[in-house]
Amino acid sequence: MTAVQSETSAQPASVASFPHDFVWGAATAAYQVEGAAATDGRTPSIWDTFSHTPGKVRNGDTGDIAADHYHLYRDDVALMKDLGLKAYRFSVSWSRVQPTGRGPAVERGLDFYRRLTDELLEAGITPVATLYHWDLPQELEDAGGWPHRDTAQRFAEYADIMGRTLGDRVGVWTTLNEPWCSAFLGYGSGVHAPGRTEPAATLRAAHHLNLGHGLAIGALRSVLPSTAQTSITLNLHQVRPLTGSAEDADAARRIDAVGNRVFTGPILDGAYPADLLEDTARIVDWDELVHDGDLAEISRPIDVLGVNYYSPTVVSHPAEGAGTTKNDGHGASDHSPWTSSDHVAFHLANDNLTAMNWAIDPDGLHTLLTELAASHPRLPLMVTENGAAFDDYISPEGKVNDPQRVAYLHAHLDAVRRAIADGADVRGYFLWSLLDNFEWGYGYSKRFGAVYVDYSTQRRIPKQSAHWYADVIRENALPNEA
């Protein structure tokens, strides 16, 4: 028994087993944990610029140091091994390995990911690489960013570099993490980097992210061994109408189109949905935006679809004269991320909330997985992010007890188990997040980690939930109770 696991008392007999080859992991993102923002040739990304802009991030926090994973990765991998993790999903900082977003890579930047990957493999942990988790090199944003078509081509060249560098050691590759956030929060509501509020740019960014994904899949496939798996991770909104009215049903349809099918349509089905094109025709000229051959590139086959889930999205069409709820859980802004649907109102599914004021609703994850399995039955699924922020603190005994997170994880893992029993081909689960980290616009005020980070000393303290998760991994099953 490992040192981490030994602190947990014996659990009751497990009653909810998972498939024998189920992948148990945890995830992080480069800008949120690495730090070393100007080390070994790394140049600013849009998140460096955004976080250093006064008023953009709570308390003026930045990712300059974060959890210092760049220097402490060996300790972190040892901690992962103690927890029994089978896989670690990390993202690559584009500007660390290709500082301008163009041209040759910086070997010192590549060396970090070589070292990290080798450390993981030596510990018996499968490395899962994500190429893009929102940190576009600032020089590419200065040239137009994702609304500019050339960025998709630059992304494919970057994918080629990474595939050639780590393809002999990394067997699972994800192109983009949550492109909806990159496009709609970055260029629509402006609550994420680069902080623009331009509806047309939002849709242009969405298309070029789709195109970049497809081009990157092609680039990876040209250099990776045939056994490698490719993927994209989407934060699909589990959309529900508030009532059974036709108006609320149409509100849900509109949010589903601009929140989900703007990506699943071209990526999985080879076409943008007709209702999305109609809803947004006054904002962007899709005939000009989508070039011949784009959809064939975008719809290149993938081996697994990554699914991120935190909370359902409940919507309504507001009564005449009533205001709409602009804070939809993604950050408050006077500008809506829901391009062409800014009149839609958003509601909490219930009043059982995390520290992010997100409703806790594990049934939403079960529904999302089973509906995906029904619509795309031959596509394996992976839960690539799921977790919750709570107000964690160190007790006088030096421990971090987080029973709310344990209950959250138990309920959501049970939802995954039930989805598998109902026929969904779910291959694994990645807890968000391994470490407390820089939580984007919230800075360090929100803690999602299973491991507590004391930012003043960089000390790591596995929380109660980490010990609980280690037991689940060891047993490959849920205990009777959280």
Tokens of 222: 């040209």
Under a CB-based contact definition with an 8 Å cutoff, are residues 86 and 126 in contact?
yes
178 is catalytic: yes
CB 91 within 8 A of CB 117: no
CA proximity to 410, closest of 362, 449, 375? 362
Please pick, among 141, 297, 385, 439, the residue that the annotation labels catalytic.
385
Q: Please count the other Cβ atoms lying within 10 Å of the Cβ belonging to residue 387.
A: 24
Q: Catalytic site residue 385?
A: yes
Which is nearest to 24 in space by CA: 76, 100, 86, 92?
86
* Closest among 27, 35, 120 to 81, alpha carbons compared: 120
Contact 80, 170 (CB under 8 A): no
- Rounded to whole angstroms, the Cα distance separating 38 from 290 reads 37
Residues 6+ apart with CB under 8 A from 321: none
Helix (H, G, I), strand (E, B) or coil at 3: coil
Residues 138, 427: Cα–Cα separation, whole Å: 36
HSE at residue 374, side-chain half, CA atoms within 13 A, is 8
Q: Pinpoint the alpha helices (H) of 281-353.
A: 286-289, 294-298
Runs of H (alpha helix) within 181-236: 199-223
Dihedral pair phi/psi, residue 461, rounded to 5°: -130, 105
- What is the spatial distance between Cα 185 and Cα 231, in angstroms, rounded to a whole number? 22
Please provide the size of the chain in residues.
482
Measured distance CA(222)–CA(236) in Å, rounded: 29
Contact between residue 203 and residue 284 where contact means Cβ atoms under 8 Å apart = yes
- CA 150/CA 351 separation, integer angstroms: 44
- CA-CA distance, 384 to 375, in Å (whole number)? 19
Indicate which residue of 34, 119, 141, 178 is catalytic.
Answer: 178
Locate tokens 């649907």: which residue? Answer: 341
**Residue carrying structure tokens 């953009």:** 56
Rounded Cα distance between 470 and 482, Å, is 13
Strand partners of residue 345: 316
| 114 CB burial (10 A radius; 0-12, 13-18, 19+) | middle
Which active-site residues does the annotation give? Answer: 178, 385
